[in-house]
Amino acid sequence: MFTKTKSIFSILLLAGVIYGAPPALHVYIIPFDNTKTDVAIGWLADGLAEMVHKTLSQHDRIYLKNKEGLEEIMTNRSLLLQQRPGTKNLLVLGKFERALNKITISIQLIDLATWDELSINKLRGDYNNINGINQKLSDTINTMLMPYLPKVEKGPYPTLTEGKRMRTPPTYGEKAINVGSSIDAAIIDLEKKLDLNIGARGEIDPKGLREENGEWVLDISQNDYENDRPENQSNTNMMMEVLTNLMDNPYQVELKRPQFNYDPDNRKEFQIVMSVNYELKGSIIKDMLTSLPYSGLKQDGNLTVFYFNRDKYNFPEEITQNIQLGKYRTIPVIQLLDSQGNPLAVLVDTPDHNIHGLNSKRVFYKPFHFFSPLIDFTVGGWSMQVALETVEIPVIYTFNMDVNTADNISRISLKFIPENELHAFLSKLL
């Protein structure tokens, strides 16, 4: 009897331990966004993220995730449903820029379950005082996360997560050794660079500062990022494939059977109502997250922006020109065809006033302006950005057509035509 009672008590104790554990907090930390693509301070993208990681690692009951963890949760949102009730998943989005000798850092705290912005903060620091920036950043991120830290409620049973991790801070002697080693390494590196420039080590750095006939010369005619890097070719090939598909065929269309209603004011005409729904293909963001090692990611409501830098990619001239010339922009053209495939009506959805001014004696022609691009590209000397907007654009096209012509409609075709080829395409139909 005593053994049975003891077993029941053990089960109750275990249940109390499990259910007494507070919900966890998952925090996703990715590299900060270098908004002005300032190459000289590019190292801060990872450096600031590491400062945040180190600060939050001092808290218990926080699970820290990196870019790979964010990709996993973005690819499979059902993972959120498998977590303990009450568990929060927060994304730390940071960006920074430099003005003279000051660094400005902005931080957003995003709830991954709803994409709501929970908190936003901004701080400034001196570029020559990284320790000061680190302290300000630590204080800011602790303040922003304080309302969301798991609260420990004392109960009759101990929780599994009670107690602090064992952390033994380094002694002053160990700190002194580390500082001394760092100084020695920096001096050795400086001596090596100076020796290279004067030829003392048997070679001269062609891009380094050197003396020529009493004149000091620094060659800046060509930066490293202007040349293609062989080690980036594998990533570049993947980027070419993904971006080419993205430019050629990014949209998913839902086209419903049109309604033909007699015009109450003119019985010789039909009022035709066509319903079309435009959106990006569902696999696009998944492909972008899982296929390409992006340098940064920004989420703002329905807008997702991916950043790709030259440290991982070469930007092929073909892709760069297509982006700069806007060749990726497309316009939906709807054709109402007869049984022989001849166009009876042409509908064009574009903001171009020149296209709106066209007319035709061969077919019924009607311009509209409802559709807006859901994808945009920007390319610079150092980085490329791809912006995707995950929304639906429901459009209802309404127009009148004479009954005899409308009766011959047997098929509807919708095709996205490149913006720079639209006039030539329409000239063949009209």
> What's the pLDDT band for 152 if we cut at 50, 70, 90?
low
pLDDT at residue 205 in the model: 60
Compute the Cα dihedral for 225, 231, 237, 238 and give only its sign: negative
Q: Same domain, yes or no, for 241 and 360?
A: yes
DSSP H helical segments within 199-332, as ranges?
Answer: 233-248, 283-291, 317-324
Q: What's the mean pLDDT in 175-196? A: 60
Q: Same domain, yes or no, for 292 and 319?
A: yes
Could you read off the pLDDT of 235-245 as tens digits, one per residue?
Answer: 778 778 778 77
Residue 258 CA to residue 272 CA, distance in Å, equals: 7
Q: What's the mean pLDDT in 70-94? A: 82
Q: Same domain, yes or no, for 374 and 408?
A: yes
**Nearest Cα residue to 296 out of 110, 45, 112, 115:** 45
pLDDT at residue 194 in the model: 58
Question: Is 176 within the bounds of a domain?
Answer: yes
Question: Is 166 within the bounds of a domain?
Answer: no
Angle at the Cα of 136 from the Cα atoms of 135 and 139, rounded to 5 degrees: 85
Question: Is 211 within the bounds of a domain?
Answer: yes
Q: Same domain, yes or no, for 271 and 200?
A: no
Could you read off the pLDDT of 349-388 as tens digits, one per residue?
Answer: 999 998 999 998 889 999 999 999 999 888 877 788 888 8
Residue 372 CA to residue 387 CA, distance in Å, equals: 14
DSSP category for residue 295: S
Query: How much is the mean pLDDT over the chain?
Result: 79
Q: In the listed set 101, 132, 148, which residue is the last one of a domain according to the structure?
A: 148
pLDDT at residue 104 in the model: 92
Does 25 have pLDDT greater than 60?
yes
280 within 8 A of 389, measured Cβ to Cβ: yes
Q: What's the mean pLDDT in 59-64? A: 81
pLDDT at residue 198 in the model: 53
pLDDT at residue 220 in the model: 60
Cβ burial of 268 (10 Å; 0-12, 13-18, 19+) is: exposed
Q: What are phi and psi of 24, to 5 degrees?
A: -85, 165
Q: What's the mean pLDDT in 87-94? A: 90
Q: Same domain, yes or no, for 382 and 316?
A: yes
Q: Same domain, yes or no, for 101 and 210?
A: no
DSSP H helical segments within 199-302, as ranges?
Answer: 233-248, 283-291
Question: Is 80 within the bounds of a domain?
Answer: yes
Q: Where are the beta strands (DSSP E) in 264-329?
A: 266-280, 296-300, 303-309
Question: Is 154 within the bounds of a domain?
Answer: no
Question: Is 74 within the bounds of a domain?
Answer: yes
- Domain residues for 236? 232-429
Q: Same domain, yes or no, for 125 and 26?
A: yes
Question: Is 419 within the bounds of a domain?
Answer: yes
> What's the pLDDT band for 190 if we cut at 50, 70, 90?
low
Q: What's the mean pLDDT in 16-36? A: 74
The residues with which 279 forms a beta bridge, in sequence order, are 252
Among residues of the chain, what percentage have pLDDT more than 70?
A: 78
Among residues of the chain, what percentage have pLDDT more than 90?
A: 24
Phi/psi region, residue 289 (left: phi>0; alpha: psi -120 to 50; beta: rest), is: alpha
pTM of the predicted model, to two decimals? Answer: 0.49
Q: In the listed set 103, 133, 148, which residue is the last one of a domain according to the structure?
A: 148
Would you say how long the chain is, in residues?
A: 430
Q: What's the mean pLDDT in 252-261? A: 91
Question: Is 227 within the bounds of a domain?
Answer: no
Q: How many domains in the chain? A: 3
Q: Same domain, yes or no, for 184 and 249?
A: no
> What's the pLDDT band for 399 if we cut at 50, 70, 90?
very high
Q: In the listed set 163, 185, 217, which residue is the last one of a domain according to the structure?
A: 217
Q: Residue 6's domain is classified under what CATH number? A: 3.40.50.10070
Does 208 have pLDDT greater than 90?
no
Q: Same domain, yes or no, for 387 and 244?
A: yes
Q: Same domain, yes or no, for 369 and 323?
A: yes
> What's the pLDDT band for 199 if we cut at 50, 70, 90?
low
Does 280 have pLDDT greater than 70?
yes
Q: Same domain, yes or no, for 202 and 90?
A: no
Q: Same domain, yes or no, for 211 and 237?
A: no
